[in-house]
Amino acid sequence: MGRKYFGTDGVRGLANAYPMTAEMALKIGAAAGRYFRRDGAQTHRVVIGKDTRLSGYMFENALTAGLTSTGMNVLLLGPVPTPAVGLLTPSMRADFGIMISASHNPHHDNGIKFFGPDGFKLSDEAEEEIERLIDAGLEPAKPENIGRAKRIDDGRYRYIERVKSSFPYGMSLNGLKVVIDCANGAAYRAAPEVLWELGAEVIPVGTSPNGKNINEGCGSTKPQTAAETVVAHGADVAICLDGDADRVLIVDETGRVADGDQIMGLMASRWAADGRLAGNALVATVMSNLGLERFLSGRGIGLERTAVGDRYVVERMRSGGFNLGGEQSGHIVMTDYSTTGDGLMAGLQFLAEMVRTGRKASELSDTFEPVPQLLKNVRFQAGQTPLEMDIVKAIIADAETRLAANGRLLIRKSGTEPLIRVMAECEDDGLLNTVVDDVVGVIEKATA
């Protein structure tokens, strides 16, 4: 059964347009409230966090209305990173958690992500059941059973302490000049505070949110600002987060950017050397570079690949007993410390390695030589199904044949935007560009 409202990471779309309307958010809240009240207990609670988007106020209020109408008590955390909701949901003994965010998307988008009582994202089956309850309509509680809403003022501080606990005890960042780019998003206060408390000289970027500038010209999707800041200030390193701080990229002292694959390669090899890499394997998606796989294989470390989406990475980690995984985009999941991707925690692991080894960021972030990789996106209109068109199927089959002995091709529909993502890897740059351009050209014509 396909999901109707949920994508790869919750419900997401243009704010104030279906399905991301206040009316729909109320229905989603009411359906989730019904789903998590099934055990018949008298007291139920949910924690809600959000990033800094202007529309967050609207969705926070609408969700609260829907949830309290079913008898759920709502604990409002305000602006906090997505991983804070994953951490605080079980800590506060909540039945589930909700994060209002569209992650790395522009301010005009928003989304609703769910976490179960254990702090992990919901399964496909749970989301399908919530969808069924949305379509079934509202079922309000009796007047005397309506829930309450309460502001939680110390959620950020609880998260800060948990993040710092992931940093090696007795180690400090004294002497390190660190640029922290918060993308004008959810970590705009927490991230600089963590680094300062650990002893770093902090140079903040993207810490002045106004509701409309989240991810705008900064953060992990636009690391150029951080790179320029590193060079201008003579900083040692930059940590670039996205709007909800579940992703990270590293910028070294020369301004060169390292993606999630390079960070995971460093962490996996370090953890394996220390005997702490569970299952002696890293879990990553089909998007991770072939160079990472070769690097790990050369060190006797396995690579488990999953579908795209950090939730699928986490599902494989939990089923296989692995403790490190992530995505090329910068989601780094360390289940020893967190239940979902945490950009700040992953950034601290990189800084800890800098302190431990005394090596520069440029030495540590250049973990392996990546195989040339090219990714292009093709936007399509609502109602179109490009990947089902015969002309598109034909060009994809032809491209796969041409790459068969030299690389690989991955075509997928985005789970968060109306995009077809065309990605290929190949040692031959000329063939790589030709194949991707041919596929993109056909899809563009088919959807024009």
Query: Which amino acids are annotated catalytic?
Result: 103
Query: Amino acid letter at 214?
Result: I
> Three-state DSSP class for 381?
coil
Give the max Cα distance, the chain.
Answer: 69
Strand partners, 11: 112
Q: How far is CA 258 from CA 243, 277, 336, in A?
A: 18, 22, 23
CA 284/CA 14 separation, integer angstroms: 29
Structure tokens at 295: 């690097």
Phi and psi angles of residue 399, each rounded to the nearest 5 degrees, phi first: -65, -40
Whether the bond between 19 and the residue before it is cis, its omega within 30 degrees of 0, is yes
**How far, in Å, CA of 431 to CA of 343, rounded?**
35
The rounded distance, in Å, linking the Cα atoms of 312 and 305 is 10
Which letter, b or e, does each residue of 375-412 get, where b requires 16 or more Cβ atoms within 10 Å of its Cβ?
ebebebeeeeebeeeeebeebbeebeebbeeebebebb
Give the whole-angstrom CA distance, residue 81 versus residue 267: 22
DSSP state for residue 93 in the 8-state scheme: T
* Residue whose C-alpha is closest to residue 165's, from 352, 399, 312: 352
Burial bucket for residue 248 (CB in 10 Å: 0-12, 13-18, 19+): buried
Residue environment code for 7-45, b if the CB has 16+ CB neighbours within 10 A, otherwise e: bbbbbbbbbeeebbbbebbbbbbbbbbbbbbeeeeeebb
